[in-house]
Amino acid sequence: MDRLDLRILDQLQNDASLTNQDLAARVGLSPSACLKRVRRLKECGVIQREVALVAPDALGASLHMVVEVTMVRDDKPLYRDFIRRVEAAPEVSQCYQVTGEVDFVLIVNVADMQSYDRLCDSVLYAGDAVHKFRTLISRKRNKFETRLPLGV
């Protein structure tokens, strides 16, 4: 990956709806060369997908939470079972397996506490893998960024 690829990625992270013509002009390439690079970046998995970011408040009331999960023990089958339940839960937008005092950190978005209780029942209380969990409810989102720093 060279500097032009990084410039293309930087532009697409800011606005993936750019036409190929506009993208090419912004990065200083011909449209055909730009299109070839974008296709290559998609084919090799650098660009995983293009999405629309939805304003959470536009959908009505919602709660945003960070959930720290501690497992009962280090055990791959337990972890796999837990991850399978997390992946099946649409309320969990992100899941990180981490080092330190906890084993997983989940980012959860639910409409209300009843919805969170249902998530707890289906993911956190299901099975015998979770030793304990701690829920942090977000009062305000001060920063939210989807861009990766590319150094361009």
122 and 66: one domain? yes
Going residue by residue through the chain, which has 152 residues, state the pLDDT in tens, using 9 for 90 and above. 999 999 999 999 999 999 999 999 999 999 999 999 999 999 999 999 999 998 888 888 789 999 999 999 999 999 999 999 999 999 999 999 999 999 999 999 999 999 999 999 999 999 889 999 999 999 998 999 998 999 87
Q: Which pLDDT belongs to residue 152?
A: 75
Q: Which two tokens stand for residue 129?
A: 């893998």
CATH code, 95? 3.30.70.920
Q: Which pLDDT belongs to residue 27?
A: 97
Report the candidate in 74, 64, 57 with the shortest Cα–Cα distance to residue 135: 64
Range of the domain at 16: 3-43
Alpha helices in 15-112 (DSSP H): 20-27, 31-43, 76-88
26 and 75: one domain? no
Give the number of other CB atoms < 10 A from CB of residue 40.
13
68 and 35: one domain? no
33 and 64: one domain? no
71 and 113: one domain? yes
CATH code, 10? 1.10.10.10
pTM of the model: 0.87
Distances 86 to 9, 73, 124 between C-alpha atoms, Å:
30, 18, 9
- Please classify residue 32 by burial: count the beta carbons closer than 10 Å to its beta carbon, then call 0-12 exposed, 13-18 middle and 19+ buried: exposed
Backbone angle region of 8, left / alpha / beta, with phi > 0 → left and psi within -120 to 50 → alpha: alpha
66 and 130: one domain? yes
What are 45-49's contacts with CB under 8 Å, separation 24+? 46/1, 46/5, 46/9, 47/9, 47/12
70 within domain boundaries: yes
User: Are the C-beta atoms of residues 4 and 27 closer than 8 Å to each other?
Assistant: yes
- Look at the chain and report how many structural domains it folds into: 2
